[in-house]
Amino acid sequence: MQLLIDSSDPREIAQAHAWGIIDGVTTNPTLIAKAGPDRLATLKNVLDASPGVVFCQVIGWKELDPLKTQARWLHRFSERIVAKLPMSVSGIMAVRQLKQEVPDIRLAVTTVSSVAQAYLCGKAGADVVALFNGPFDLESDQPVDLVTPVRRIYDRYGFKTKILSAGRFPRAFGEYAVAGTDYCTLRFEYLKLLFEHAYTDKRMNNFSKDWRTAFGDQTWPQS
Ligand code: E4P
């Protein structure tokens, strides 16, 4: 599974990449808009901040031609970009047509919020389906894992589309990993939560207390 940071802030991206476990970046129109007034500079800064894959969404929803022309532009701007097309009839048509017209273009379909929509993306031959699992995490007290059913459908029908799950909290992140998602993307504040757990804090504090009681500030020799 590749772990991505959902961000357009080069500082956050660089901080996360320093951990040594981040494989790339997802962006979206909201994140790009938040990053500053020069959208092209923002995209270049994101590409400079991450050596891995960068997902970038075309602007528009239901007009086929503008979706296709922007996806082609993104593809030419960097070979590391996966162009995100919207979940719509035009988005699915754009996947089918671009895949025939530009065989090496890399395409995702984004804002996918149902198994039915994910089926359409697999059928269309998208390289990646971006499952927006995160909002379900917030709105439901029952686990809503879209990855498991979509993985089963793609495996059953031989769709080669990879699954990107957008998530929020560690429990759901673990479910996506168990379900076999190919990518998982989290915003920086949620990525940092992956390292945290109350039991980890409790045991580390107990270890420190017991050691300090016996040995004070001594550690094992460090030379
Ligand atoms: C995914 O590719 C999107 O950029 C984003 O992660 C969607 O997740 P959100 O619902 O947390 O914004």
Return the CATH number at 9: 3.20.20.70
Is residue 153 pLDDT above 90, yes or no?
Answer: yes
Does the pLDDT value for residue 142 go beyond 90? no
Query: What b/e sequence results for 174-211 when a residue is b if at least 16 CB atoms lie within 10 Å of its CB, and e otherwise?
Result: ebbeebebbbbbbbeebbeebeeeeeeeeeeeeeeeee
Question: Which run of H or of E encompasses 23?
Answer: none
- 89 CA to middle of ligand 1, Å? 21
Residue 46 reports pLDDT greater than 90: yes
Arithmetic mean of pLDDT, 69-77: 98
Q: Which domain holds residue 25?
A: 2-215
What mean pLDDT comes out for the span 31-56?
A: 98
In the chain, what is the greatest distance between 2 CA atoms, to the nearest angstrom?
A: 71
84 is known as an active-site residue? yes
Please report whether residue 190 resides in a domain.
yes
104-141 tens-digit pLDDT: 999 999 999 999 999 999 999 999 999 998 877 777 77
Instruction: Tell me the pTM.
Output: 0.94
Cα-to-chain-centroid distance, residue 27: 8
Give the number of domains in the chain.
1
Q: Is residue 36 part of a domain?
A: yes
Atom in ligand 1 nearest the alpha carbon of residue 167: 11
Which residue of the set 44, 62, 68, 84 is catalytic?
84
Please report whether residue 144 resides in a domain. Answer: yes
* Residues near ligand 1 (Cβ within 6 A): 6, 26, 28, 55, 110, 130, 132, 134-135, 166, 185, 187
CA dist 132 and 114 (Å) reads 9
Q: Is residue 221 part of a domain?
A: no
Q: Is 6 part of any domain?
A: yes
Could you tell me if residue 49 is inside a domain? yes
- Neighbouring C-alpha atoms within 13 Å toward the C-beta of 152: 6
